[in-house]
Structures are given as structure tokens and as C-alpha cells.
Amino acid sequence: MLDTHALLWWLEDSPELDSAACEAIADPRNEIFVSAISLWEVAIKRTLGKLDAPDNLSAVVEREGFEGLPITLFHAEQAGKLPLLHRDPFDRMLVAQAQAEGLTILTRDADIPRYGALTMAA
């Protein structure tokens, strides 16, 4: 599962994204997930003028061949139970989803591994 910054770096072909992360995303054997929470986060930051991203991000995600991951009631309950090791509710939801679905989060956020979530360096 891509953290929001990893998704944006991939779409921008940014040199910020680690080469091993690029290889993992590009490998057709890997199923890459993008959480609905990431699109919500991007939309909010775009509206606030803090971020430049495509208006049709959901279509872009689909075109890339990524799988959308909806937020379920179980994900919401799990995110609400997480300790506040990370102040960002978007990231806590990513952690809850990754743990619930057995996914690895591709991220550069140093706080996410503190939850015991599986991560790969972005």
C-alpha cells in the first residue's frame, strides 16, 4: 500500500522515491493498493492550496493499475483504537488498513513503523 507521499512521488516520477520502491511498484507481480484516505488527504490539501495534484486522482490511480482500498467500518474501529504515536489521523488509518489487510506500507514516515506495521522505505 502506498503512503500518500509515495503515491504522489510515483505519479510525478520524483527522484525522491527510492529506487527499490520504484522497482516494487513497477513489478507486475505486486498488487499495489491506494487507500481512499490518501485521496481524501490529497483533496483536502489541494483545497487548502498546500498541494498540487490531479483533479481526477481516482482515474489516475486506476490508469496506473493500482487497487483502490475502501475504508470499512472495521478499519475505522481499528484506527480509533491505535495509540496516538502519530498525530496524523490519515496515517493512523493507513496503519489500521495495512494491519487489517496484511499489507506493507511503502512510506518514508518514521512514525508508522512504531505501530508494528510492515513497511518498505519510500
Distance CA 98, CA 122 (A): 16
* pLDDT value of residue 118: 95
Q: Is 116 helix (H, G, I), strand (E, B) or coil?
A: coil
Can you give the C-alpha Rg of the chain in angstroms? 14
Amino acid at 41: E
Q: What are the pLDDT digits (tens) for 9-64?
A: 999 999 999 999 999 999 999 999 999 999 999 999 999 999 989 889 999 999 99
User: What beta strand segments (E) does 49-101 contain?
Assistant: 67-69
Model pLDDT for residues 74-118, shown as the tens digit of each residue: 999 999 999 999 889 999 999 999 999 999 999 999 999 999 999
Question: Residue 28's Cα: distance from chain center in Å?
Answer: 18
Domain 4-121 CATH (choose: 3.40.50.1010, 1.10.565.10, 3.10.20.30, 1.10.1200.10)? 3.40.50.1010
